[in-house]
Amino acid sequence: MSYKWLEWDEFSEIYMKAFHNTRGIIKPRQYLKQNLNYLKVIVNRLHHDYKDGKQWLEAPLNEKKGYREEFFTEMCYIIPWYAYIENKNEIDQNMMLKYFQSDTTSLQIHYTWSKYFGLVTDIEDQWISRDVTFRRTGFRKCLGMHTILIMKPFHCFNDDDSKFATTVGYPNTNRYNPKVLQDLRIKLGYSTIRLAQKKKTNRDKLLGHLNPVWASVVSKYYNYLLVSDASENYLNKMTNILNELFEYLNEENKKDCTSFSIKDFSKLTTKFKQGRVKKENGTRYQLSKVSLLRRFFEWGVGELPSFFPTHLIFPDEEWASLSKKASKEYLNSEGFAPSSNEIAMKMVEGIYRYLPKNENEELCRWFWLIVASAPPRFSYVINLESKQALRPLPNQPEAFGLYSQDEDKAGNKYGQFPILDPIGYEAITELEKRANRLQLKPIWNIKYNREFIHLFQFNRPPWILSNSAVRRFFDKMKLEVLNEDELSERISAHRYRTFLLTHIAMKTGSLEAVRVAAGHRNEEMTRLYLKSRVSRNALLHRVLSKYEQGEVSGKFYVRLLQFLTSEDPQIEDMMNALTTEMALDEFLLKYGKRMEMGFCLSQESCDNWYKCWGCNNFLMRREEINDAIVVLVKQILNLRTMIKHSTNYTSKNSIAAGQMRTISLIIKRLIELGLTEKKIDEMVLEVITKFTLEGS
């Protein structure tokens, strides 16, 4: 390999070409000649001190001689000499990079030479000059160093080359980093993959803990979890647990956990309840932390005896009690729905009326209008593909749903969620028009591992609307729309999802319809969505609507009203079934006792079915009308016989009064089912005639 210096004549020729036109400014030939005079002095001194390039390369960086004349240094000569060297893999690139970075001038000579050698094209230079982020001196200088160092044209860079920008960029400035460089590549169409700026996570902080023993324990445990194929979510949860554990060790002045006793575990359990932001956690959340802590200690006892106790003694009774309490809390919880339909609707109306102040707010506004109109999960909506987001529902082509070819959280591919409100359809169509108008280019989606045009996409960095931006916008809207008393209301994308699923349940009366709309694999999860008071009330109202529509009768509705108006509705098997099963016929067969004319829904035995008509446990459907008419006729005939054969009949007689009350209640129940008194008379006469004929 030749390290021969570049001949002066050759250098001066290419210098005139390279620097004749920089940034659109034509330099006078006389000016360039004057610069060459300065450079001639520098090059002569360089050649005098180093017989060839090899000798210069072998000299340690801190011992290399520097040469300067006016604004020029030897680097203006070294760069083209380095560019012409073959087999650059034999050169210490780390040394060359540090040498390039040692340039303190602002002449952008690296960038100018990079353009001359075709490593940065004129079109790329125009893009760079057009954007304030890229046209800064620091960015151009570093891009020049980067392309010269690896002698690769910018359009041939790959994503790994972009990541190398961290090394090329100056430590004290953030003008040249992987994210900024990748943003330029995306703009130019060289890549579709976004790179996020590397931020120090809580996990990084733990791994780099000031206490090297603790950092070592964390590192070993994380390696164990990674080998065990632990999810990212699990690792994040464990990070929080370890942070709280180390906080506790500091508070108790403990160097390790070797002396841990039941008392320490109890204290930590209390600490988990209190939370880290002065907000008390729920029992289930507290129990999940205890479970993670237990697993950590069970791993460590046999793995690191220098940090963990020899024997584990957990507060099993306390934790068992906590488990029971968590189960009870779960069974009696409100589920996921907002506790107030009115406030949920008020937020939607406020967001719909809101005039966005910028493009970010515009996308956030459309996002929440979609969330309030269709029941998929947050991540499903934010990752929708523009060209495929809206499709007719397969079982109802005149209606539309949100569509994605990618798996949702439940693992369903090609899922389609119904759009229940016109504003959702409006939001999707407006976003699709926007994507076409801006001629958005595909961006790589990390979640789905493919590239496409996103529904919530920009034509500039950050390229995709972030989850945090969406949530910040919603928090802002809460402050603008709700009054002070309403701000504590639990509202989120997940709660709107439950709100809409409850609406589907109320309209269809089908648990299967709700399951499909929710994208659930089984009914168990669907039932969780329908266990809040809002959901229970909505479904109970649906049963009551059957009374209003004349489909059912009986005073069982009184009992339903008690549940509807109660501040603390009793949760029992029968009511849970009523509010989640939804199919009334199925419910009656399971919990009702078939009577001659309807169903008894009492969970206790009863020996007088003639009281059914006024009992709160009685319910009758339209299907039981004929049976009820027969019972009515029997009551009328019994009363008639009583009057005919009684020597001192009076309506005040308790038996007669009961008979008359039964008759009037039966008639009332039949009228509630939509029968007129005239129709009842006709049916009664028809049955009496039938009885008479059978008797004769």
Q: Give one DSSP letter per residue of 645-687, joined into a string.
A: H-SS--TTSHHHHHHHHHHHHHHHHHHHTT--HHHHHHHHHHH
Q: Which residues contact 17 (CB under 8 A, 6 or more apart)?
A: 116
Residue 379 has pLDDT above 70, yes or no: yes
- Residue 564 pLDDT level (bands cut at 50, 70, 90): very low
Domain positions in the chain are 8-187, 202-331, 341-501, 532-687
pLDDT at 296: 94
Higher pLDDT pick, 302 / 8: 8
Higher pLDDT pick, 449 / 210: 449
pLDDT at 501: 80
Spatial separation of the C-alpha atoms in residues 387 and 409, rounded to whole Å = 21
pLDDT at 562: 45
Higher pLDDT pick, 618 / 233: 233
Task: Please give the average per-residue pLDDT across 359-373, as a whole number.
Answer: 95
Spatial separation of the C-alpha atoms in residues 637 and 124, rounded to whole Å = 101
Asked if 550 and 673 touch (Cβ cutoff 8 Å), the reply is: yes
Spatial separation of the C-alpha atoms in residues 630 and 625, rounded to whole Å = 9
Spatial separation of the C-alpha atoms in residues 309 and 259, rounded to whole Å = 6
Digit-coded pLDDT (tens) for 410-441: 777 787 888 888 999 999 999 999 999 999 99
pLDDT at 49: 95
According to DSSP, the residues that pair with 599 across neighbouring strands are 594, 619
Spatial separation of the C-alpha atoms in residues 301 and 483, rounded to whole Å = 53
Asked if 624 and 552 touch (Cβ cutoff 8 Å), the reply is: no
Residue 84 has pLDDT above 60, yes or no: yes
Mean pLDDT over the full length of the chain: 82
Spatial separation of the C-alpha atoms in residues 113 and 374, rounded to whole Å = 56
Asked if 18 and 117 touch (Cβ cutoff 8 Å), the reply is: no
Question: If you count them, how many residues does the chain have?
Answer: 696
Digit-coded pLDDT (tens) for 504-548: 766 665 667 777 888 887 776 776 666 555 455 555 555 555 555
According to DSSP, the residues that pair with 403 across neighbouring strands are 416
Asked if 383 and 447 touch (Cβ cutoff 8 Å), the reply is: yes
pLDDT at 113: 95
Digit-coded pLDDT (tens) for 137-177: 689 999 999 999 999 999 999 999 999 998 998 876 778 89
Residue 557 has pLDDT above 50, yes or no: no
CATH architecture for residues 341-501: Orthogonal Bundle (1.10)
Digit-coded pLDDT (tens) for 241-269: 999 999 999 999 999 999 999 999 999 99
pLDDT at 581: 44
